[in-house]
Chain A
């Protein structure tokens, strides 16, 4: 830490950050953590109305649940494609915007448009494009290719990834820009002194100081990939084509049918997976942060 004094003094000088942190922790615990932990009870009961203890029955059932597995699988496939692609494109975009300076201002706003449009409008827009008689298929027909039924075939996943990238590129760009502008110019000047070229600057300055941002954006992409459900739901309802049956469909439907015990067990399984992924990225972040700071 910044200073090494005796413990008592430490608390005294640190009273402000302690209170600051506490204000956040108390609310977080009260509104998120404790309720979430308490809800674990449901995972071991027959159902939320009949509070009978059933042990690990719900978890075992879930692994035999065709649709939970299907949702898990599809969500995984979706994330593997959508997250990296959207991160790379938005990094490139944010760097271009930064380079453009004043001219680039307008683009940040334009790319944020999907986030402020009502979901229904977004769904309508994409339906016009990927409908069986939509824009894409019309173009394909003009060339002489019979277009597929985008939403109800195996191509549905491609459409989903495209919509995701389209929707979230602005979000990621804002965060990347915040990261880019947060890098003190001093560091670039320093690199100039050492005669670094653009590429070296990118790898040794930009990438290094963007590491926390990368981590942040990865996590946010993860969060946002759950939100894509809203658009899918507008387009396909609760019975989408098999290839885009996401975990969110499962979660949403279990909630609507009051099968909270299934929902909570599913979520705890999901949490375990998330924890594994976050630990992995956490260590990666720390590794890079330390490695590159030197």
Chain B
């Protein structure tokens, strides 16, 4: 059994190299000093680039924190809205519920360019088109979260709710103490995917943010493909690592979704 596992591990590992290469090259290049543009052939090791982005020019750190701010605000808001919305969809039964959910899905499926323009119109009505709010508010109400969690809640055993109901527990109680822990893996998945989505935000940021000191790091990185200098690789590494760390942390929660048996055993 163990040998089989190791064999499987090796196979997947070999395949996963294709996924690893771009990351590895980015990290390696970030430590390679720039001799002249385009020729990074000379091997060497230097931390100059990191000194540049972390100490010398505050704009990178500033952009980094902008990214953190946007992602965090979206994340917190959207998780709250998504868990609540999904709970509503799961527990309530009313006419047109499926239709409403259907509308959620259809709107979610539309390409970004389509919703961007209506978003801009709403933002300009609210006079927030020059601020982060124009990005954050629509992101919080993105139907994606509701969709993911509702699908997750669908497969929860009904008996558990019934038991709680019989016990006289109210909905807030059930929501907080039963539903949330049980869809933990779904929430973890949602967090991971939302972080990825909004950490990489480009299109919305281009349209809404007009001031230099408000740009997220993603815009900068999306624009440097032609000048592959050491600094940009360092910035890219600096950009990737926190998310990777977060993802590996979130991954633990992804696994620990709480099944009924787990509880009973304890």
Contacts and interface: CB of A to CB of B under 8 A. Distances in A.
Q: Determine whether A and B are in direct contact in the complex, meaning some CB atoms lie less than 8 angstroms apart.
A: yes
Interface of A: 1-3, 13-25, 27-28, 30-33, 35-36, 38-39, 93, 96-97, 99-100, 103-105, 107-125, 166, 170-171, 174-175, 177-179, 181-186, 189, 209, 212-213, 215-216, 219, 222-223, 226-227, 230, 234, 247-248, 251-252, 255, 260, 263-264, 267, 270-271, 274-275, 278-279, 282, 289
B85 interface: yes
Contact of A271 (B110, B122, B171): B110
A14 B109 CA distance: 30
Size category of the binding interface on chain B:
35 or more
A35 to B, nearest CB: 3
A216 B145 CA distance: 11
Contacts of B189: 174-175, 177-178
Nearest to A266: B114
Interface in B82-115: 82, 84-85, 87-89, 91-93, 98, 100, 102-115
A190 to B, nearest CB: 10
B255 to A, nearest CB: 6
Given A3-B165, A24-B82, A114-B22, A124 B251 contact: no
Given A166-B19, A226-B111, A271-B106, A112 B141 contact: no
A23 B86 CA distance: 11
Interface of A is mostly: helix
A62 B200 CA distance: 33
A254 to B, nearest CB: 9
Interface stretch (B31-39, B45-53, B56-64, B150-158): B150-158
B121 interface: yes
Contacts, number: 284
Given A105-B255, A212-B154, 5 more contacts: A20-B85, A32-B141, A118-B221, A174-B254, A178-B148
A99 B8 contact: yes
Contacts of A264: 114
Interface string B237-251: 001100110011001
16 contacts: A2-B91, A21-B85, A32-B138, A33-B107, A38-B118, A99-B8, A100-B12, A105-B255, A110-B20, A116-B196, A117-B22, A178-B185, A183-B155, A219-B147, A230-B202, A234-B225
Nearest to A3: B165
A263 B19 CA distance: 35
Nearest to B226: A120
B141 to A, nearest CB: 3
Contacts of A113: 19-20, 22-23, 240, 244
A213 B117 CA distance: 31
Interface string B213-256: 00000100111110010000000100110011001100110111
